[in-house]
Structure 1
């Protein structure tokens, strides 16, 4: 399975996590096996060694005939000594120490128990074992303290005991330990590679559905954004596939919206461009035929200027829409004084309102006395207010009023922007649709691009602001709109705010 440089292979990652513990446990298993084998090998030989020490203890505890020396009394019979020396593999040592610790019989080089071993309470006839050395050779020692029979019967009254030790070298034990280890460890040298191979095959089989999923995705056409079939995938991969399907669904929706937007934009640009071409061709034909009159040429030039103005406005709106949808651009935020931007926007639109005989005004705190700030992108918020004011001026008839209002929350939590007009208003059935790109309310003959409110909604969304639309005043049957006093529309946008730094 090929991977790009720097990427980790899932197959290799799982294989590492499975084999690493296996390879770590194997030497631990060998060490434990050696310890267990050593214990198993010691047990029968310790039992035999202990029986030899106990038998020797029983012999030396018996009272010998009178007149024999101590050494002769506790010396082993030649037959017993020959029996101890009969082992061809290991050397057997024995030792008998008297009541005062003197050597009575056996091998003098056999060491006595250390002080640590003597620290435990001495119990007569209790058989004990230890590991020691005779010369440079390791031995296993069985030893016990023996009370002579005359002391047991109370004839001597002494509390001292005799020490009997029998020791054996470790040849047979080592050989048996090695045989046990070979019988246990050698099969592991066959089992371990086999286990690695089985793990490899199991992982390859387990990864196969992922390879199949990869093949299915790679074989798709670039335009195919349909969901991936979740019925033939492992349960562990299902959340990933569902996340991919969710992403594909959002991409499909986004691409569809972009295609629809581009188609609408092309259609909207077609009208002013067609008007430009028609007026230019008409003026050229009039000049070629020698029938051009100054008034006709002026009218054609005015239409050309109007069409070019419409096209330029459409392009500007498209650029504003692109800026509003650019999340990276909108993420660069700073403190914004909405009152200042609203006042500047009103001043910019005063000439246009004057030409249309509209009363355009501002209500709210001035820039210097504004107490709240909004964290946002100044250019986008300015574009939002401009589009709301432009929309209000566009749909309000002459002698109407347009008011831009900023209301600051006394608790310092919200800064509210309102733009209301006295125009015909927007019916409730169309209030959700007016925020769609290129949508225009029915029954209006105004010349707009249909993008302004879509831009407003997108900018509000980028700033986590709440936008609502309602009537500016109560609708009344028979209300005359000729004097600019219709029910009007009021757009309210609530921004999260915080107190200004003083």
Structure 2
């Protein structure tokens, strides 16, 4: 997606999300950088003025320590040299205060309003100290030093000398430093955002190219996307798309093949219908219509329509079996109950063909295992197996439907076996393909029954196997209706039957 392409509501933009994650830290760090710059600028601006202020306090302290006391009115006084007083008052920007306190803490000279140091300060002679304080409502920076007067060796008493200065010059220098550092950032930050935007737009350009290549494809083009011109980070996505295209191509090919085969299979009974109808009409038009001939034509029409209806039903069953969403709606299924119902449905047809159709296994109430699946699809599976067995079993043959329960409760087995001609081992895999019929048989079927069986079994994670009903010894001839037969075995995963529940509505 390009940066200029609109994004639908609720849809996330990869470009915007990456841009947010890149710019959010930058915009978060910028105010932090401003605050740190202000703190650093204050420290930088204070150092030279602190040095100057300390020198003034030290110079004044040396002068106070060397001065001669002058007793007037019983009070010791120290006179400050005119040069020193002029030096203290020479600053035109800030106001400078000074104070000299005597050995007993009395004011000897200077400004009485200058606060004294905190009591917890450790008194060390000639050690320079700094602090921030206030005079009135004005903040000042104070440098102070404890002075030991000359000629008082061994005495622990000290005098206090303080010099204070307002913060005008410091604030101005701090502002100048901040301006010099921050103002360029107002130019650099938008430039950085623009460069990030351009870099990101260039970085996702291959995605836009990939999008254009996919959109320019024809709807029938399911060939793999070229992976040579895509970034490594997008390669797994393209491989997944290619895998999907391959599976989609295979599915569409199978559907086209299935539809072509279905059309071919439907063409035969429909052609028969048309031919019989035209023949009957021609006989009537020519005045040669005999009741027996018309009856024969109508019987052929009925048979062809029956074949076409059976083919359509099988196609619908195949489509239903391939519907994964339909098969996903599952419930507990009593396999024995479905098998018994199917056998009952096919009894009239078996009697017409003189085939012995029977059931072996637990009754509906005695079945202790359940299969998790779709009842309609499992019934369709059993019907197709029984229908296939009846089609290929000759008269006087036997078809047996059997349900076998695993004593360990792991599987539930469905078997449908017959005494027909059997299926050669070389063709056992092919008979599960749509529209395939075993060679050498004249059975009139759709060729979809076993394909439906395998599809339904696959939807239920069941295993389908095929073998002979009985092994024939070399030289042995089959009795009437007794061939090697075919046994279809379907193994379903099972679990013990739970408490009886109300039946669920099935579609």
- Post-superposition Cα deviations, 1:290-343, rounded to whole Å, max 9, x if no partner, equal 222222111111111111110000000001011111111111111111110011
Q: CA deviation at 1:161?
A: 3.9
Q: How far apart, in 2, do the equivalents of 1:427 and 1:353 lie?
A: 25
- The 3 A distance-change label for structure 1 pair 183 and 389 is same
Moved more, 388-397 or 421-430: 421-430
* Contact 2:77/2:109, CA 8 A, preserved across alignment: no
The aligned residue for residue 139 of structure 2 is: 138
Q: How far apart, in 1, do the equivalents of 2:220 and 2:150 lie?
A: 106
1:245 aligns with 2:242: yes
For this pair of structures, how many residues does the alignment match?
Answer: 495
The aligned residue for residue 128 of structure 2 is: 127
The aligned residue for residue 167 of structure 2 is: 170
* Contact 2:70/2:76, CA 8 A, preserved across alignment: no
Structure-to-structure mapping, 1:357-372, within 5 angstroms: 357-372=354-369
The aligned residue for residue 310 of structure 1 is: 307
The aligned residue for residue 426 of structure 1 is: 423
Structure-to-structure mapping, 1:389-428, within 5 angstroms: 389-428=386-425
Structure-1-length-normalised TM-score:
0.94
Q: CA deviation at 1:279?
A: 1.0
1:484 aligns with 2:488: no
- Post-superposition Cα deviations, 1:8-53, rounded to whole Å, max 9, x if no partner, equal 3222222222222222221211111111111111111112212222
* Contact 2:69/2:76, CA 8 A, preserved across alignment: no
Q: Which of 8, 29, 48 is residue 5 of structure 1 equivalent to?
A: 8
Q: Which of 80, 94, 100 is residue 84 of structure 2 equivalent to?
A: 80
Q: Which of 330, 338, 343 is residue 341 of structure 1 equivalent to?
A: 338
Q: CA RMSD in A?
A: 2.0
Q: How far apart, in 2, do the equivalents of 1:350 and 1:70 lie?
A: 143
Q: How far apart, in 2, do the equivalents of 1:10 and 1:71 lie?
A: 84
The aligned residue for residue 504 of structure 2 is: none
Q: How far apart, in 2, do the equivalents of 1:120 and 1:430 lie?
A: 106
Moved more, 321-330 or 105-114: 105-114
Unaligned runs of 5+ in 2: 500-507
- The 3 A distance-change label for structure 1 pair 163 and 464 is farther
Unaligned runs of 5+ in 1: none
- The 3 A distance-change label for structure 1 pair 74 and 435 is farther
SS at match of 2:204: helix
Q: CA deviation at 1:498?
A: 1.6
Q: Which of 446, 453, 460 is residue 463 of structure 1 equivalent to?
A: 460
SS at match of 1:375: strand
Q: How far apart, in 2, do the equivalents of 1:74 and 1:401 lie?
A: 139
1:271 aligns with 2:271: no
- The 3 A distance-change label for structure 1 pair 145 and 420 is farther
Structure-2-length-normalised TM-score:
0.93
The aligned residue for residue 355 of structure 1 is: 352
Structure-to-structure mapping, 1:226-305, within 5 angstroms: 226-305=223-302
The aligned residue for residue 31 of structure 2 is: 27
Moved more, 383-392 or 119-128: 119-128
1:106 aligns with 2:107: no
